[in-house]
Structure 1
């Protein structure tokens, strides 16, 4: 009986050790963090984005447009997770599942005019007070021509 129990415990330990890695967003340090693409300091944390790479490193961005530029150039193979700040709640949300709103008149650090939300309802509430915009999903951001960057 003891051998059987030891075998089960060993198998459980191996399975736990082989499970997928979890990723968490890290806090932005405005004094030292700079955008990987444009090299600007991250002074407007409410628009920041970050990518947790599978190797444990983080890439930091000052605007969703810069994060998307990085994704286009480097692909998603080494990305463990990606986060952007929710414009309504100022909390980290998953880049891939976020709902985005574009309006050329929305201010963002690099003037891309795209802000992120955790739900379509939250995005629609934002547009009631900040001005109408175009709803987008993550897949729409790959070829989107934003703001002054057309």
Structure 2
């Protein structure tokens, strides 16, 4: 498997929005939340977006934001037929490396989303909760040289 990330362009936004809707609509219904295409599009415009690929095949996408303390995974979605092939674990490992400059990798996940177990296997811990979400993080800073 030759997983890699390819920078997403605005031409990829509709694919990413539809994939997110397909993956998240059940949780939105479960928790009484309203989906907004416009809300997704606004978020897309202010984030770093990447397509997750295996050779030439697009498997999913990841959307990121940063502050001085953390790299935030805002969206991470795989096409259903591309799940359980190791790409999600690979992406999380890449994001842990990318988060070393900030020191923390953070995300939120619906409490009933089984992806939480993948995140925990990749070193993220539950550090808090908000209504229907778990807040998770992993320390990723490089240890100082002694």
Q: TM-score, length-normalised on structure 2?
A: 0.35
**Greater strand share, 1 or 2?**
2
Give the greater-gyration-radius structure (CA).
1
